């Protein structure tokens, strides 16, 4: 199977990156933290092994904010325009990245696996048909294909070993 290669970047054009392979999972999250951090209805994050992302040009600066699970959430932003490109979350640390799908050159090329935290979605936002939606979080074992679960377990194991 040929793995897809996607590229993307920030709005000012300084940052460019390449992402190799399909994401492990894609979340459309409507939690209040995501709303406050993006100033928008929700965020779409593609979770992938960080070593599958290559920064092609530009510089990123780290911004640490509270994460939903209580641990730190580090956003990596373009140093020039401030656009968030991806995040590292407490559980997987720097090994896993939640890449902002809106920064892909072809953001329609990935589809969320789940819509989460619908309990805090803005009331006029309609939920997409055919994508499982959850009031808060979800059990990935009920949603993700076995090969994706394996990749997630492998990352978690690596993170445990430090």
CB of 101 to Zn ion, least distance (A): 13
The three-class DSSP label of residue 154 is helix
Q: Which CB, 80 or 90, lies closer to Zn ion?
A: 80
Q: Which CB, 4 or 13, lies closer to Zn ion?
A: 13
Residues that bind Zn ion (CB under 5 A): 10, 12, 14, 29, 31, 34, 78, 80-81
Q: Which CB, 91 or 158, lies closer to Zn ion?
A: 91
CB of 10 to Zn ion, least distance (A): 3
How far is C-alpha 1 from the chain's CA centre? 24
CB of 2 to Zn ion, least distance (A): 30
* Residue 34 CB partners (closer than 8 Å, separation 6+): 42, 43, 117
Q: How far is CA 59 from CA 29, 43, 45, 56, 151, in A?
A: 26, 22, 20, 10, 28
């Amino acid at each position: 199977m040929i793995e897809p290669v996607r590229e993307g970047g920030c709005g000012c054009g300084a940052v460019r990156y390449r992402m190799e392979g399909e994401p492990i999972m894609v979340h459309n999250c409507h939690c209040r933290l995501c709303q406050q951090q993006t100033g928008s209805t929700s965020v779409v994050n593609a979770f992938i092994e960080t070593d599958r992302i290559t920064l092609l040009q530009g510089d990123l600066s780290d911004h640490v904010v509270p994460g939903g699970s209580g641990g730190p959430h580090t956003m990596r932003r373009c140093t020039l325009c401030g656009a968030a490109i991806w995040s590292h979350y407490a559980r997987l640390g720097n090994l896993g990245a939640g890449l902002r799908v809106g920064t892909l050159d072809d953001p329609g090329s990935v589809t969320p696996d789940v819509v989460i935290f619908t309990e805090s979605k803005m009331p006029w936002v309609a939920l997409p048909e055919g994508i499982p939606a959850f009031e808060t979080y979800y059990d990935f074992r009920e949603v993700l294909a076995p090969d994706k679960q394996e990749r997630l377990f492998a990352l978690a194991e690596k993170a445990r070993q430090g």
